[in-house]
Structure 1
């Protein structure tokens, strides 16, 4: 059996070259590698972030653990699923892992390992992967209405965003603070009071994430305004733009359709519960049963 080996930022850069060759098939893998390369270069001692591979240059396999989140990448071949299963079996699943935004091609391998290990499942979700070419996103225009302005989110805004986030849980404030400091983000502010009324930032794997408009300001086009501005900013970095949307979320589906995004795949979320007691992380992240999160 081939054993897992640790990766550093230099190793991840080599993997990024492999995944960049077939664009946009592996766009989410490239965006994920982009983020963790930058994170490990700027903050090499970041706690609870580990990257692994099974050495096979043709397959370019990687597993990245970001606290409880697991990000997966592997170039498709006849042996890719078997090798991915072999790699996933070697991880420590006892604290619970959340396979995040897995492309459809990885689902069977992850599900097989979860079944073999008889791991209790917390939740399973499916979302549509929306994609917009860089050249199209560059033509997006943003004109905030009178009395409002757009700018990059401040770290001080993280607490408000966490308080209003659907998936808020102990430890998510750290995540939001980190994403604001590391990635492009956009907030819409009221000019007189500087109140933050709508926002969006980029997740580890490149998606436009946590798009939200305060209830008092809804149905005024503010959601599409901040999404359009963030998409434009990502395009200005020379990158295509991606987003995850649940099919049942008609408002978000309509929003990204209007912006010209196209569905190119599905993403799967598969989260397992801890099999040990008193699971916690040094950054205060504790296990939360997502079925109880409203």
Structure 2
């Protein structure tokens, strides 16, 4: 860390310029692009979002494309600096007394993040060793054929559906219900329902632009509903001009097989880690 380094908020008026830096080598940096676009969208919906900052190192984000989004306890980060130096210096300035979940960081930055956690004596609650990003280009998403069985219909999810989805999400945690509610209300989301309006399957879109959680109700497994909802969310994402991609934890062979069958290809890996708080905090697990 340099003595004069400072972690500074990037003004909202500059977020479009920050976003556009990630058009370079498209779609290599689409997660960075889509993350900033997500928060441009969200502050248009709610200009007073609590506990949200987009931070850069000093005022050099135009040169290195390095940012950290702090959204409550979630951290989203991206950088065009291949050396990782600017991201490392920025991360060293965070207050690691708090518990954070680092979401979909570039796999190439994993060593940098791990080094910072060691330097700051941060304990890790859990770490995803391999999170594989599978992607289908926008033009291929639009070609997907979607035929619903009789009696079933699709519709956008509401906050009431987010509550149900969170209850069965294997990765649920303190604060995740509100997270899911925002995804349902503010982002693309879709559910598969029967004539009784029972939710059979569902999918959201994360702030990173990745689809998920994509799940099927336990009572309705092995009916092909996962494939139906994957096609449906892919087409919705594509209508907004985005490639469709999701991250799959290594070992989830069923999800890999489903995505591969639909034409998705593994393009890169991303990194997730949750840190332990060093004091009493609002979100700690």
Q: TM-score under structure 2 normalisation?
A: 0.95
Q: Hey, what's the Cα distance between the residues in 2 that align with 1:220 and 1:8?
A: 48
Q: Hey, what's the Cα distance between the residues in 2 that align with 1:23 and 1:241?
A: 14
Query: What do you get for the CA RMSD once the two structures are aligned?
Result: 1.2
**What pairs with 1:83-122 in structure 2 (closer than 5 Å)?**
83-122=86-125
Whether 2:284 is the aligned partner of 1:287: answer yes
2:66–2:81 contact (8 Å) kept in structure 1: no
**What pairs with 1:56-67 in structure 2 (closer than 5 Å)?**
56=60, 57-67=62-72
Q: Hey, what's the Cα distance between the residues in 1 that align with 2:86 and 2:203?
A: 36
Which residue does 1:245 correspond to in 2?
A: 248
* Unaligned ranges ≥5, structure 1: 281-285, 289-294
Whether 2:198 is the aligned partner of 1:185: answer no
2:65–2:81 contact (8 Å) kept in structure 1: no
Q: Hey, what's the Cα distance between the residues in 1 that align with 2:106 and 2:264?
A: 17
Give the number of aligned pairs: 279
Q: Hey, what's the Cα distance between the residues in 1 that align with 2:131 and 2:174?
A: 24
**What pairs with 1:64-213 in structure 2 (closer than 5 Å)?**
64-77=69-82, 80-125=83-128, 126-191=130-195, 193-213=196-216
1:9–1:41 contact (8 Å) kept in structure 2: no
**What pairs with 1:10-89 in structure 2 (closer than 5 Å)?**
10-54=13-57, 55-56=59-60, 57-77=62-82, 80-89=83-92
Q: Hey, what's the Cα distance between the residues in 2 that align with 1:246 and 1:264?
A: 14
- Per-residue deviation at 1:104? 1.0
- Per-residue deviation at 1:205? 0.4
Which residue does 1:261 correspond to in 2?
A: 264
* Unaligned ranges ≥5, structure 2: none
- Per-residue deviation at 1:259? 1.3
- Runs of at least 4 residues off by over 6 Å: none
- Report the 3-state secondary structure (helix = DSSP H, G, I; strand = E; otherwise coil) of the residue aligned with 2:170: coil
Q: Hey, what's the Cα distance between the residues in 1 that align with 2:99 and 2:256?
A: 31
- Per-residue deviation at 1:168? 2.1
